[in-house]
Structure 1
């Protein structure tokens, strides 16, 4: 009988695979342990980081219209739920939602946020699901009277490669059949604005990036020079994405258990992409995965957009 792999074992396997590959890269989902989740909440409050406040303003202004798209008695599923701050601006307008199902890989953070939300909405059924939302997972059954609707804010879809984005959207189209998906995208814009958002003057994004190695030290006993890596984030214009890397300051070695990995000076571990989209380009991507385009809500500068996508019947 095969025993299920633990989250720590999966992190170890994926980190070993990342450090063994060339070029070296790892999924950004491993940013979000308890410390990383708190750091990301701090990033969202930074003056340089426009996505969160812009999206919140859109939800405040158009939340009623978005709730009309969602409809009554919905089972609302939030992918990559985090702090559950934004969903409140939808819940305030939803008509008798059947349940709210936040899905997130950071279990302690998710359960604490769900408990806090439950105190604010005592009549709402909340069913938190600790899982990697990009992989198949079991959602609670829903009643016939309502629809299952996805909520994926924060431009997190931009962390996926185009192939990964298609895989997620295809999975969501099946999971949300008969319902829809409300999703946020960060728009293509002036590179200087993007650079500032990922290289904040307070160094919080740098700490968030470097925490991935600190997590490896805490959870896996990784050995490395704590001053041996620096945060590197830049806009790759041909690929229309921000890239985040951990760059080795000099030749050095990371040890995890009995295995050693050598880094040359300047060599990097690629930790995150943040793809930027046009509305037409993203709607075309979603259409290829089974969704139909619906209403679109953007700020006056076209920096950020929330889109309604109708799932197939």
Structure 2
């Protein structure tokens, strides 16, 4: 099994929001820590490794769709847009979109600054005529895009079914924040290209989040390594194990870090105790049927325009527009 790799040099100052979220999450019942804190540099590397695993079908399915739809996407988005990618990571699918729509600029946004800059340099080398303007930020709230793209129509890009990591209410809030960030209310035009995973059999879903090589386990456990490194934690990593569960009533995969024995530790000077079998809920991955996906987008202020599926119907890529709200009858 892969193990999370600790950084040699800890940062001088921990992110205060990371500290607040971890302490609140460990104190609550049931215990839960927001999934966005997975993505330090090591976590981002491990997630990219997950996307290449044989069990992890979403990455292959979405990539196959994006390879196929280039001409349709170009026709639907028009010329001269700026592509804004939310949570860009290593941007492995981005070249397919950039090649298809030939934008005037590309703005990748990610919370992991070092990983963001690495991927931005790689894309700038691959598209030497394209202005690449990385933005280190938390995109879950409305943000101000760089001035260089302020006047351009925007195509938001949110691949990987990342929207599924959020509870439906939070997903709607995020979609509304994206609408604002892309300038939809300023009459400049905005579109959103988004990936959404479909509901399917539990065996396939669990395998995608509990791979045989242990990469997803290392990704999950890296959260505890980060807590130890950045928050003066003493969490014994060998006392926790990764577990993926299918919650059918909520239509989601849940990731947990389950205590394999009773354990006590300190984080940021505060003591915590876990009983054997108690877990930290670290991530959700909601799956959507076709109507569910469209309703979610409409609730977030987006009108679906076109939808594409992979050959097996496992995954959907949807293009939506930020149209004015429909008047009530």
For normalisation by structure 2, the TM-score amounts to 0.90
| Partner Cα distance (1:37, 1:62) in 2 | 27
Match of 2:25 among 18, 22, 36: 18
Q: CA deviation at 1:130?
A: 0.5
Deviations 1:17-65 (CA, angstroms, capped at 9, x unpaired): 1111111111111111111111111101100000001111101111221
Residue of structure 1 equivalent to 2:198: 187
- Tell me, yes or no, if structure 1 residue 33 matches structure 2 residue 40: yes
Residue of structure 2 equivalent to 1:93: 100
Q: 1:267 to 1:309 in 2, by over 3 A?
A: same
Match of 1:67 among 52, 74, 98: 74
Match of 1:82 among 82, 89, 101: 89
| Partner Cα distance (1:292, 1:256) in 2 | 44
Q: How is 1:67-146 mapped onto 2 (pairs within 5 angstroms)?
A: 67-95=74-102, 97-141=103-147, 142=149, 144=151, 146=152
| Partner Cα distance (2:27, 2:239) in 1 | 19
| Partner Cα distance (2:19, 2:205) in 1 | 32
Moved more, 61-70 or 77-86: 61-70
- Tell me, yes or no, if structure 1 residue 289 matches structure 2 residue 300: yes
Pairwise CA RMSD of aligned residues?
Answer: 1.3
Residue of structure 2 equivalent to 1:197: 208
Deviations 1:171-226 (CA, angstroms, capped at 9, x unpaired): 12233312110000000001110011011000000000000000111111200222
Residue of structure 2 equivalent to 1:171: 177
Q: Please, which runs of 5 or more residues in structure 2 have no aligned partner?
A: 1-12, 325-329
Q: CA deviation at 1:7?
A: 5.8
SS in 2 for 1:243: strand
Asked if structure 2 preserves the Cα contact closer than 8 Å seen for 1:64 and 1:90, the reply is: no
Moved more, 54-63 or 134-143: 134-143
Residue of structure 2 equivalent to 1:268: 279
Q: 1:168 to 1:143 in 2, by over 3 A?
A: closer
| Partner Cα distance (1:36, 1:268) in 2 | 20
| Partner Cα distance (1:186, 1:208) in 2 | 20
Residue of structure 1 equivalent to 2:6: none
Residue of structure 2 equivalent to 1:226: 237
Asked if structure 1 preserves the Cα contact closer than 8 Å seen for 2:142 and 2:178, the reply is: no
| Partner Cα distance (1:7, 1:131) in 2 | 16
Asked if structure 2 preserves the Cα contact closer than 8 Å seen for 1:70 and 1:179, the reply is: no
Residue of structure 1 equivalent to 2:63: 56
Deviations 1:54-86 (CA, angstroms, capped at 9, x unpaired): 111101111221232222111111001000111
Residue of structure 2 equivalent to 1:3: none
Asked if structure 2 preserves the Cα contact closer than 8 Å seen for 1:173 and 1:312, the reply is: no
Deviations 1:228-278 (CA, angstroms, capped at 9, x unpaired): 000011111111000000001111112013210111111111000000001
| Partner Cα distance (1:87, 1:257) in 2 | 38
Q: Please, which runs of 5 or more residues in structure 1 have no aligned partner?
A: 1-5
